[in-house]
Amino acid sequence: MSEKKGIAILGSTGSIGTQALEVLEAYPNYFDLQVITANRNADLLIEQALKHKPNSVVIVDKDSYKKVKDALWSEDIHVYGGEEALSQVVESIEVHTVLTALVGYAGLKPTIAAINAKKEIALANKETLVVAGELITSLAKEKGVNIYPVDSEHSAIFQCIVGEFHNQIEKIYLTASGGPFRGFSQEELLKVSKEQALKHPNWSMGAKITIDSATLMNKGLEVIEAKWLFNLKPEQIDVIVHPQSIVHSIVQFEDGSMKAQMGLPDMKLPIQFALTYPDRFKTDFPRFNFMDYPELTFEQPNREVFKNLDLAFYAMENAGTTACVLNATNEIAVDAFLNDKISFSEISMLNNDVVKAAKIITKPVYEDYVSADYTARQSALKLIQ
Ligand code: NAD
Ligand code: MG
């Protein structure tokens, strides 16, 4: 095995994936790119492979396999097609850390494979912990695998507790920008368009998480993600709206002291910290200037208007497969909204209707998550029609 840290990036063609490649490129003596993968974007995957020369690439969409294979035939790069390949490439002996930068439920299976193969996890794919947090965290513990958060809020919490692992967390505050519809009434939300929902005020991200940010589902999913990452009880997690997205989150310890992590909104920093922990590498990222932000403000989220947030707390408290059902329904709902089949307000209505009607399995094993995900998707699709 090489001296450098072998990295597999699942979802290299996405927002997190492309930024992760920039991070790796900046430290060629430290990182060794082993694997990149994409769902359907063959052109970008080919371009990335030719530029970064990984050991293996996976294109999940089997129809695009030949295109990728042909484009890379003269390179010393293994090309695989299909979903199962994701779980196989992460097992390579040369891979040290797997960055899960793919979106949605699809992250669950390869993450389990990576943990079973004792790979460190840099976790961007929050849906994996939402769907099966109990299974993932207990498997990681059993295998002695660390899960380093990439999500900016969770990276912030992690950065605040480095050196404090023996001290109890009293509570955490996850900050939320409030999204493009902060301050909107229920009536105003009825009229918002897809274009408006896709315009996040502070972050440029993939479509699914951008819509989740607008409905506050993203913050709800992050609450559940935080519970599993930091072993917290629901009452220890609070959400505070901070429109400037400078304070990335806050930890309150048992003596009342609060630590916050701050910086300009730029995902490259949390991506890099997850890959270089415990070290911090020097960067030339733009620095924060207080005079550009003379006011940092905080306000309560409007839980009456943005119902997904309370629904996430409900799912967390109800436990079992509830959050898995919520995630599956939300994936269907966001997809339907992006395809003009339902309105913005109907996303949280659909989530509520499917979650509250679902039969919940209280002590799920892997197969229960698979069937809860499938059943929830069917129920959601039926309600949409
Ligand atoms: P994105 O849509 O930009 O990219 C998704 C990537 O996953 C692409 O490479 C795509 O090819 C791949 N992919 C999509 N569906 C797949 C499937 N079914 N099977 C295999 N691969 C698939 O998404 P993103 O914004 O980069 O977000 C990725 C993850 O990171 C999400 O879980 C998101 O919540 C989380 N996250 C993103 C940001 C951000 O700034 N973008 C911040 C925090 C957390
Ligand atoms: Mg986040």
Pocket of ligand 1 (CB under 6 A): 11-17, 38-39, 41, 60, 101-104, 106, 124-127, 151, 203, 205-206, 208-209, 267
* Interval between CA 170 and ligand 1 midpoint (Å): 32
Residue to mutate, 62, 90, 103, ligand 1, most ligand atoms under 8 Å from C-beta? 103
| pLDDT tens digits, 323-335 | 999 999 999 999 9
- pLDDT at residue 300 in the model: 98
Residue 333 within a domain: no
| Domain finish residue from 318, 344, 361 | 318
Residues 140, 126, single domain; the answer is yes
* Interval between CA 28 and ligand 2 midpoint (Å): 27
Residues 203, 96, single domain; the answer is no
| pLDDT tens digits, 352-380 | 999 999 999 999 999 999 999 999 999 99
Amino acid type, 123:
L
Omega into 54 within 30° of 0, i.e. cis?
Answer: no
Residue 58 burial class via C-beta count within 10 angstroms: exposed 0-12, middle 13-18, buried 19 and up: buried
Residue 365 within a domain: no
| Domain finish residue from 96, 123, 149 | 149
| pLDDT tens digits, 84-93 | 999 999 999 9
Region 151-179: mean pLDDT is 97
pTM of this structure: 0.98
Question: Do residues 267 and 16 make contact, with C-beta atoms less than 8 angstroms apart?
Answer: yes
Residues 133, 183, single domain; the answer is no
Residue 39 within a domain: yes
- pLDDT at residue 2 in the model: 65
Residue 312 within a domain: yes
| Domain finish residue from 97, 131, 149 | 149
Phi and psi angles of residue 171, each rounded to the nearest 5 degrees, phi first? -160, 165
Region 297-309: mean pLDDT is 98
Region 238-252: mean pLDDT is 98
Percent of the chain with pLDDT over 70: 99
Residues 134, 215, single domain; the answer is no
Q: Which domain holds residue 132?
A: 5-149
CA atoms of 166 and 161, how far apart (whole Å): 9
How far are the Cα atoms of 22, 159, 273 from residue 278, in angstroms, in the given order? Answer: 20, 10, 8
Region 298-316: mean pLDDT is 98
Question: Do residues 244 and 296 make contact, with C-beta atoms less than 8 angstroms apart?
Answer: yes
Residues 47, 77, single domain; the answer is yes
Number of Cβ within a 10 Å radius of residue 23: 22
* Interval between CA 175 and ligand 2 midpoint (Å): 9
Query: Taking 70 as the threshold, does the pLDDT of residue 1 lie above it?
Result: no
CA dihedral for 294, 300, 306, 312, sign (positive or negative): positive
Residues 142, 240, single domain; the answer is no
Residue 380 within a domain: no
Q: Say how far residue 262 (Cα) sits from the centre of its chain.
A: 20
Region 237-249: mean pLDDT is 98
* Interval between CA 225 and ligand 2 midpoint (Å): 10
CA-nearest residue, atom 32 of ligand 1:
125
| pLDDT tens digits, 248-281 | 999 999 999 999 999 999 999 999 999 999 999 9
* Interval between CA 110 and ligand 1 midpoint (Å): 14
Residues 252, 161, single domain; the answer is yes
Residues 36, 79, single domain; the answer is yes
| pLDDT tens digits, 2-28 | 699 999 999 999 999 999 999 999 999
Residues 63, 199, single domain; the answer is no
Residues 120, 223, single domain; the answer is no
Torsion of CA 87, 88, 90, 93, to 10 degrees: 150
Residue to mutate, 10, 12, 15, 105, ligand 1, most ligand atoms under 8 Å from C-beta? 15
- pLDDT at residue 203 in the model: 87
Residue 110 within a domain: yes
Residue 364 within a domain: no
For residue 84, give the ligand nearest its CA. 1
Total domain count, the chain: 2
Query: Taking 90 as the threshold, does the pLDDT of residue 32 lie above it?
Result: yes
CA atoms of 153 and 303, how far apart (whole Å): 20
| pLDDT tens digits, 93-118 | 999 999 999 999 999 999 999 999 99
Residues 173, 203, single domain; the answer is yes
For residue 335, give the ligand nearest its CA. 1
Residues 59, 166, single domain; the answer is no
Query: Taking 60 as the threshold, does the pLDDT of residue 235 lie above it?
Result: yes
Amino acid type, 29:
N
Give the pLDDT band (50/70/90) at residue 232.
Answer: very high
* Interval between CA 332 and ligand 2 midpoint (Å): 21
Region 241-252: mean pLDDT is 98
Residue 369 within a domain: no
CA atoms of 54 and 78, how far apart (whole Å): 9
The domain that holds 18 is classified in CATH as: 3.40.50.720
